[in-house]
Amino acid sequence: MGNEDMENVVIAGSGPAGLTAAIYTARSGLNPLVLEGFVPGGQLIVSPEVENYPGFPEPISGMELMDRFRKQAEQFGARFKMEVIENVKIGNDLFELDTGIGRIETKTLIIATGAEAKRLDIPTEPKFYGKGVSGCATCDGAFFRDKEIMVVGGGNTAIQDAVFLTRFASKVTIVHRRDYFRAAPAEMEKAKSNPKIEWLIPWVVEEIIGDNTVTGAVLKNRETGEIQQIHCSGIFVAIGHDPKSEAFKELVETDKNGFILAEAGSTRTSTPGVFACGDVCDPVYKQAVVAAGHGCMAAIDLEQYIYIHRRK
């Protein structure tokens, strides 16, 4: 390990997990390099308001929260590159990371790449992306002033998006495939008390209608099979996320859904020296505060690995 260019630790991802790992490893003097990916801050930056992150009694935007994480990591010496790992090769006591832009050698790797938003996966969806279909309420909500909007999904993101979009829209219809919601009760209460929000459950989107832009959607009732067409100018999709683990499938074990598997009670993966944290290995909780805690665990597991490795 005499290569001076070799990194001690590379952290792939810059959401709550990756940046917490960066804070801890930087503070331990490991001089981490964070590969931020093409969307620095991860999924949280599309959240208009975060109300449940401890230490913030007033709501804070996801963008600002992640900016604070980043500044804190930077203060301790973490370095950042806007690159994405495309491929990893295992070398002799090192990992070679191919980012498409260059190659990076590192002794250890923390995978905190998070998850990416699922799409509806219906044939007309791509045609209308940017012309009525969106995955980001904070980015595109203002284009739908005084228009009718549909939000698809039943988790926190969908319900928060629906409430946020009532700032612009004349009406927001939440379409959800189940007859129960995964969103937190506090979020549900806000939505239920909002007079601009209507509910369609258990319905699914069968087709998006429009010529140049979205004018409506065909919905199907999952219980009765009934079909109905509703008018809307915008469709915001918030139906969950898939783990971003594709580049690491040859490197570490994953489950059938692509979540990276770690040893119980730790962040150690099937490959020594590689640690995973946050939503890329969390099919259950998917919360910023959990991801942050997980990032801390990864940093501590990694420090222990390096300590043991040095002693050998």
Contact call for residue 140 and other proteins (CB under 8 A): yes
Contact call for residue 13 and other proteins (CB under 8 A): no
Q: What is the C-alpha separation between 211 and 214, in angstroms, rounded?
A: 7
Closest distance of CB 179 from other proteins, Å: 31
Residues 26-65 that bind other proteins (CB under 8 A): 38-40, 45-46, 63
Closest distance of CB 45 from other proteins, Å: 6
Sign of CA dihedral 88, 295, 50, 281: positive
- Identify the burial level of 289 via C-beta atoms within 10 angstroms of its C-beta, where 0-12 means exposed, 13-18 middle and 19 or more buried: middle
Contact call for residue 132 and other proteins (CB under 8 A): yes
**From candidates 29, 93, 101, 255, binder to other proteins by CB under 8 A:** 101
Contact call for residue 82 and other proteins (CB under 8 A): yes
Catalytic residue set: 136, 139-140
Closest distance of CB 151 from other proteins, Å: 15
Contact call for residue 134 and other proteins (CB under 8 A): yes
Q: Which residue has the tokens 């927001």?
A: 172
Sign of CA dihedral 187, 188, 191, 194: negative
**From candidates 75, 170, 213, 304, binder to other proteins by CB under 8 A:** 213
Residues 236-295 that bind other proteins (CB under 8 A): none
Burial code (b: 16+ CB inside 10 Å, e: under 16) for 66-105 equals: beebbebbbebebebeebbbeebeeeeebbebebeeeebb
Query: Residue 11 — φ and ψ, nearest 5°?
Result: -110, 120
Q: Which two tokens stand for residue 84?
A: 């994405």
**From candidates 59, 100, 272, 283, binder to other proteins by CB under 8 A:** 100
Specify the residue, 59 or 100, whose C-beta has the smaller distance to other proteins. Answer: 100
Specify the residue, 56 or 129, whose C-beta has the smaller distance to other proteins. Answer: 129
- Tell which residue, 178, 149, 146, 145, has the closest CA to residue 161: 149
Q: Which two tokens stand for residue 181?
A: 């919601």
- Count of residues near other proteins by CB under 8 A: 26
Residues that bind other proteins (CB under 8 A): 38-40, 45-46, 63, 82, 100-101, 129-136, 138-140, 143-144, 212-213, 233-234
